[in-house]
Amino acid sequence: MRTRCFSTMNVTDPLKNGLAEIRVAGKTLYVPAAEICDRTVVVTGNWLRRAAIRDENLVEGEIVERPESFLEQLKRSRLHADILSFCQKIPDTTPRYQFHLEWDNWAVVPITNYKAWWEEVPQETRKNVRRAGKRGVVVRTATFSDEFVKGILGIYNETPIRQGRRFWHFGKDFETVKRESSTYLDRSEFIGSYFNDELIGFIKIIYVDHMATLIHIVSKNAHQDKRPINAMLAKAVEVCAERGISFLIYGKYIYEGNENSPLTEFKRRNGFVSIRYPRYFIPLTVKGSLALNWGVHNGFKPLVPQSAANLFRRGRSWFYQRRYPDAGALSVNSNSAEAKAI
């Protein structure tokens, strides 16, 4: 049961009728949920019902403090799950439990100070950050307001296609974008890139303990030549360093076993490294045990050969290029990093 980074975003409303609101791939879903040991546990899936802590990467403190007690209460709850998954937080990456584990990964900038990061990134990255300023891009922290939401709306509705696939947020109305962007405001920070006072890109950061997690990072295709993404990432590192944050996390470093993806290369060029951490899988039913034994507890997608997956991605990109010829730049490159991080 692989947790897709940033695919689940919660609202602050309490559980209603035993359901919790989550968002997966930009779609709002209501799924069975229960409060267990001060954590909201949600259950997703059809043939295999998977239990996980909602917004696992955003909860403060230890994700599951006492697993045995947690499991006992989960089994007594009204939730009917086949398997439970949870992980340890970085930098606590030494396995501490005897459950079945698999290694997952984050893309992380370990932060000491801004100067150290700046001196470590490649010259190309430093050049791109400077280029943004030379081409008129102003990067600064922003206040979440209706005006800022209108700017986000303009970015979202620029094109229906990004990175060769449908863009999750295209076509959403103002109220939906405002509601979805306002989660965790008490520990969030927004960074905006502006050109002639127009918002052309933004980052949303959520602070979690000693870490900062990038939730949204997106810019307008029409301004890619100005390198706003690079400039905003540099600003994010600067802001985190000033706050004394130890780690800046930007999704996974390697997605679906593809170590050579353009997104991974982009992260490397911007100072991110891979930090592995243990993810535990605990069967709760016979079905869960069988799924774990057969290696399908993460679904069937991980079993697809990488060559076949790459062929599918190219075919999908070709299809959308033909269907939306005016949608703008569709491929991931070293200066377009929105894929999988929205």
Per-residue pLDDT band at 258 (split at 50, 70, 90): confident
d(CA 115, CA 105): 26
Please write the tens of the pLDDT for every residue from 83-123: 999 999 999 999 999 999 999 999 999 999 999 999 999 99
Per-residue pLDDT band at 28 (split at 50, 70, 90): confident
- Report the predicted TM-score, pTM, of the whole model to 2 decimal places: 0.85
Q: At what angle do helices 174-181 and 146-156 cross, to 10 degrees?
A: 110
Q: What spatial distance separates the first Cα and last Cα of the chain, rounded to whole Å? A: 20
How much is the CA Rg of the chain, to the nearest whole Å? 20
> Can you list the alpha helix ranges (DSSP code H) found in the chain?
67-76, 114-120, 123-134, 146-156, 174-181, 228-243, 262-269, 286-294, 306-323
DSSP state of 212: E
Question: Is residue 4's pLDDT more than 60?
Answer: no
Q: Where in the chain are the domains?
A: 19-105+277-310, 112-245
Domain 112-245 listed as CATH 3.40.630.30: yes
Question: Is residue 330's pLDDT more than 60?
Answer: no
Per-residue pLDDT band at 58 (split at 50, 70, 90): very high
- Quote the pLDDT of residue 300: 66
Please, is 26 exposed, middle or buried when counting C-beta atoms within 10 Å of its C-beta (0-12, 13-18, 19+)? middle
Question: Is residue 14's pLDDT more than 50?
Answer: yes
- Quote the pLDDT of residue 325: 66
Peptide bond into 91 cis (omega under 30): yes
State the chain's mean pLDDT as an integer: 87
- Quote the pLDDT of residue 311: 74
Three-class DSSP category at 230: helix
d(CA 202, CA 236): 11
- Quote the pLDDT of residue 312: 64
Question: Is residue 259's pLDDT more than 50?
Answer: yes
- Quote the pLDDT of residue 261: 85
Per-residue pLDDT band at 255 (split at 50, 70, 90): confident
Percent of the chain exceeding pLDDT 70 equals 83
d(CA 107, CA 342): 15
